[in-house]
């Protein structure tokens, strides 16, 4: 045992005391981490409970609860390191150097944190809004420190980085308005009866009670295309009825236009060959 003690720079007979002290420090540090992470979870729940009682905005609740948990976990890690015998001055120097390297490596993460703060300050969207961010469309379910969680109509979960969300284009379909428009472009063949097509679409409008009767209903000739006469159609619906009305109208047009003598043409090109 004397060789090991000499290698560790200990006096003869001190190895047992060294191992005992080291084991005690590791045990204390482990207990600190366990208690710290438990406190982080409990504090997050308590923060959420208090904010809910005060009718705080849901977006702010999710952000603050995750922030409180992260801060307490960070303090627990620092405390555990100091219990291992690392002096705070030395630890601060090491942490500063590591922070610089980590900051450069995780600059995107810091950007996401700043983006989360900007989203909470300027509120381009909130929990429950139907939005399109970075080409992804869904309902905002959570706004966290680094990410925004979206739920799609088919119940998929999409995680969007807050940095990209704050610095990119955001389409909010529900902000400050309980209703929105549904837009379609339906094509019929050249030679089909335009009047019949208009009357049939208006009939679909009247039969769908989700379409708001006191708002404008549009069926106009929008474009003379290369292979079809395109009708531009628009109605107003409640936000929650958007996808249902959109999909049901598409199905009715596809299944019932043929019975009315209307056809939905596909893109085509006529080639004329002339012999000299």
**Which pLDDT does position 89 carry in this prediction?**
61
Give the class (CATH, top level) of 124-172.
Answer: mainly beta
Average pLDDT value for residue range 227-247: 92
> Which of 138, 215, 212, 144 shows the shortest CA–CA distance to 172?
138
Give the class (CATH, top level) of 2-105.
Answer: mainly alpha
Give the class (CATH, top level) of 179-260.
Answer: alpha beta
**Which pLDDT does position 59 carry in this prediction?**
65
Q: Which helix or strand (DSSP H or E) is residue 11 part of?
A: none
**Which pLDDT does position 253 carry in this prediction?**
94
**pTM: predicted TM-score of the whole model, two decimal places:** 0.53
The DSSP letter of residue 240 is G
- Residue 18 confidence class, pLDDT cut points 50, 70, 90: low
CB 64 within 8 A of CB 51: yes
Between these two residues, 229 and 64, which has the higher pLDDT value?
Answer: 229
Between these two residues, 58 and 227, which has the higher pLDDT value?
Answer: 227
CB 153 within 8 A of CB 230: no
Q: Which residues of the chain does CATH 3.30.70.100 include?
A: 179-260
- Residue 255 confidence class, pLDDT cut points 50, 70, 90: very high
Average pLDDT value for residue range 15-26: 69
In the chain, alpha helices (H): 2-8, 15-53, 58-83, 88-105, 107-122, 162-167, 194-207, 242-256
Q: Which residues of the chain does CATH 2.30.30.60 include?
A: 124-172
- The rounded mean pLDDT for the chain is 80
Q: Which residues of the chain does CATH 1.10.287.1260 include?
A: 2-105
The DSSP letter of residue 260 is G
Positive or negative, the CA dihedral 180, 185, 191, 197 is negative
- 18 to 5, 9, 11, 22, 44: CA distances (angstroms): 10, 11, 10, 6, 39
**Euclidean distance between the first and final Cα of the chain, in Å?**
108
């Amino acid at each position: 045992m004397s060789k090991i003690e000499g290698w560790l720079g200990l006096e003869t007979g001190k190895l047992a005391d060294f191992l005992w002290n080291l084991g005690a420090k590791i045990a204390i540090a482990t207990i600190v981490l366990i208690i710290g992470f438990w406190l982080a979870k409990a504090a997050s729940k308590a923060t959420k409970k208090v904010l809910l009682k005060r009718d705080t905005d849901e977006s702010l609740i999710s952000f603050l609860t995750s922030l409180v948990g992260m801060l307490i976990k960070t303090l627990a890690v620092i405390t555990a390191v100091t219990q291992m015998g690392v002096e705070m001055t030395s630890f601060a120097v090491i942490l500063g150097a590591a922070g610089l390297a980590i900051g450069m490596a995780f600059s995107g993460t810091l950007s996401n944190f700043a983006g989360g703060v900007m989203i909470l300050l300027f509120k381009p969207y909130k929990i429950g809004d139907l939005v399109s961010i970075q080409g992804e469309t869904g309902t905002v379910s959570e706004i966290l420190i680094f990410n925004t969680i979206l739920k799609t109509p088919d119940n998929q979960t999409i995680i969007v980085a807050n940095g990209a969300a704050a610095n990119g284009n955001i389409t909010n379909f529900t902000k400050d308005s309980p209703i929105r428009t549904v837009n379609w472009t339906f094509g019929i063949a050249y030679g089909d009866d335009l009047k019949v097509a208009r009357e049939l679409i208006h009939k679909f409008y009247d039969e769908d009670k989700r379409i708001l009767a006191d708002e404008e209903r549009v069926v106009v000739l929008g474009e003379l295309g290369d292979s079809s006469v395109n009708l531009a159609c628009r109605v107003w619906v409640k936000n929650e009825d958007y996808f249902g009305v959109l999909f049901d109208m598409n199905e009715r047009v596809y299944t019932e236009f043929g019975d009315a003598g209307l056809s939905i043409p596909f893109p085509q090109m006529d080639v004329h060959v002339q012999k000299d």
